Amino acid sequence: MSIDHRNLSRINNRKLVLQQLFNNRETSRAEIARQLHLNKSTVSSICTELDETGLIEEVRQGESTKSGGRKPNLICLNRNYGFVASFNIGTAYMASMFNYINGEIIQYNRQAIKQFDILNIMQMIKSEIKEMEKVDQTSHGLLAIGFSIHGIVYQNKVIDSPFLELDGIDLQEYFEKEFGVPVVLENEANLSAVFENDFCEGSAISDLITISIHRGIGVGVIANGRLYRGNQGMAGEIGRALMIDHLGDGSNKLVKVESLCSEDAIIDQVKAVKGLKTISSEELSRLYHYDSQVLRIFDHAIELLAEAAFNAIVSFGPQAVYFNSTLFEDIPELFEQIRSKLVEMGAFSPIYKIVGSRMTSLLGASSLAIHWALDLEKFQLKMRWPNEVKNVE
């Protein structure tokens, strides 16, 4: 079978033009042609096609050149073309986010999961999407769905999760059939790294890691501007690494890192020593500041976390390190402690805390969903940094 190279070139040029529209708040057909070194007629023809589909929005007239001539018509990606949905399933909650096709947030929601089984959770997801569709005013509606998974994901399949039992259900297959749009699944820590990579407009950082500390501990790795997943999606699973636990009877035992110093492990230790069944973030913070037993638990956990983080830093050699943890947001002193310990150990990368960490994996999922919706999976798209999230040094 012969290959139509002209058609392949046309498809690639269309994607390049679409990338230019996405990455510039406003531009002109002539400027796109100049940036891509394409003929103006080629770009004009592609823009006409995109305009007919509704992907282009006319903005205004630009300024004429110094030599005069006709003022260019400035164009941009039409955010009202459609929207994407993303979901993060926790142990007791489900968070959802809806974004316009240009990445801007439409809505963020977080609700308790009253009955934790996969069929109930899937029904919650369907209800969220259908409620959004009722009020949606975009021209093409839902375009793609992204899932943030606490566990190992490989080729859009959940390989292993510490708490999400799928009972043989293929989430991608089910929701693609239900809504007729692409569905992408990715590990939560990986998506935090995707967020840092895709939303850092103008950043010169192409190698970074995010260290997510939640029920488990995971590292998301961006290497040379690309998400690095490793064999079978196992890259960055530092929570599964082994560490020596010094037991009270003087013996030692090899245990998983996350069983000692994940967010859940720390909270479980605090509840055990204080005889509590549940504990709020406010009470946890209060005990940290005023209870010597709890302080010792945190101090030990920070030492272990620093060791695990340092090993990740020297293993992946990032230009920057980002910690993603609600514990660090609720108790800022914890971040200061771990950063100081990493500096003492000789960590060579700038270390940041993500504020608004609950949203980062959803923003990463929305970015992947947008890439899939636009058929630009291998193209760099610059998302707009949201006001709800900050990086604090």
Between CA 235 and CA 124 the distance in angstroms is: 31
Residue 352 has what pLDDT? 95
Query: Could you tell me the residue range of the domain that residue 166 belongs to?
Result: 81-196+360-374
- Domain count for the chain: 3
Q: What is the mean pLDDT of residues 342-367?
A: 94
Residue pair 366/335 in contact by the 8 Å Cβ criterion:
no
Q: Does 383 fall in a domain?
A: no
Residues 191 and 288 in one domain: no
Between CA 36 and CA 75 the distance in angstroms is: 16
Residues 242 and 348 in one domain: yes
- The radius of gyration of the chain from alpha carbons, rounded to an integer in Å, stands at 23
Could you give phi then psi for residue 36, rounded to 5 degrees?
-95, -5
Residue pair 195/228 in contact by the 8 Å Cβ criterion:
no
102-142-172 Cα angle (round to 5)? 105
Residues 317 and 187 in one domain: no
Residues 349 and 319 in one domain: yes
Percent of the chain scoring above 90 in pLDDT: 72
Q: How confident is the model at residue 32 (pLDDT cuts 50, 70, 90)?
A: very high
Handedness of CA 334, 198, 372, 74 (dihedral sign): positive
Q: Does 256 fall in a domain?
A: yes
Detail the DSSP E strand segments found in the chain.
27-28, 56-61, 73-77, 83-89, 93-100, 105-112, 142-149, 152-154, 157-160, 183-187, 208-213, 217-223, 226-228, 242-246, 252-256, 320-324, 351-355, 390-392
Is 70 exceeded by the pLDDT of residue 1?
Answer: no
Is 90 exceeded by the pLDDT of residue 289?
Answer: yes
Between CA 209 and CA 220 the distance in angstroms is: 5
**CA 309 vs CA 215, 343, 345: distances in Å:** 16, 11, 11
Could you give phi then psi for residue 15, rounded to 5 degrees?
-65, -40
Is 60 exceeded by the pLDDT of residue 170?
Answer: yes
Q: What is the mean pLDDT of residues 349-357?
A: 93
Residues 129 and 217 in one domain: no
Q: How confident is the model at residue 161 (pLDDT cuts 50, 70, 90)?
A: confident
**CA 341 vs CA 65, 157, 214, 347: distances in Å:** 56, 37, 20, 9
The CATH number for 324's domain is: 3.30.420.40
Is 80 exceeded by the pLDDT of residue 329?
Answer: yes
Residues 209 and 343 in one domain: yes
Q: Does 276 fall in a domain?
A: yes
- Per-residue pLDDT tens for 81-135? 999 999 999 888 899 999 999 999 999 999 999 888 899 999 999 999 999 999 9
Residue 71 has what pLDDT? 74
Residues 323 and 255 in one domain: yes
Question: Does residue 163 or residue 381 have the better pLDDT?
Answer: 381
Residues 175 and 213 in one domain: no
- Per-residue pLDDT tens for 230-265? 999 999 998 888 888 776 666 788 889 899 899 999
Percent of the chain scoring above 70 in pLDDT: 94
Residue 79 has what pLDDT? 92
Between CA 236 and CA 64 the distance in angstroms is: 51
Residues 99 and 58 in one domain: no
Residue 248 has what pLDDT? 66
For the purposes of burial, counting CB atoms within 10 Å of the CB of 298, is it exposed (0-12), middle (13-18) or buried (19 or more)? buried
Q: What is the mean pLDDT of residues 135-141?
A: 96
**CA 188 vs CA 87, 269, 329: distances in Å:** 11, 24, 18
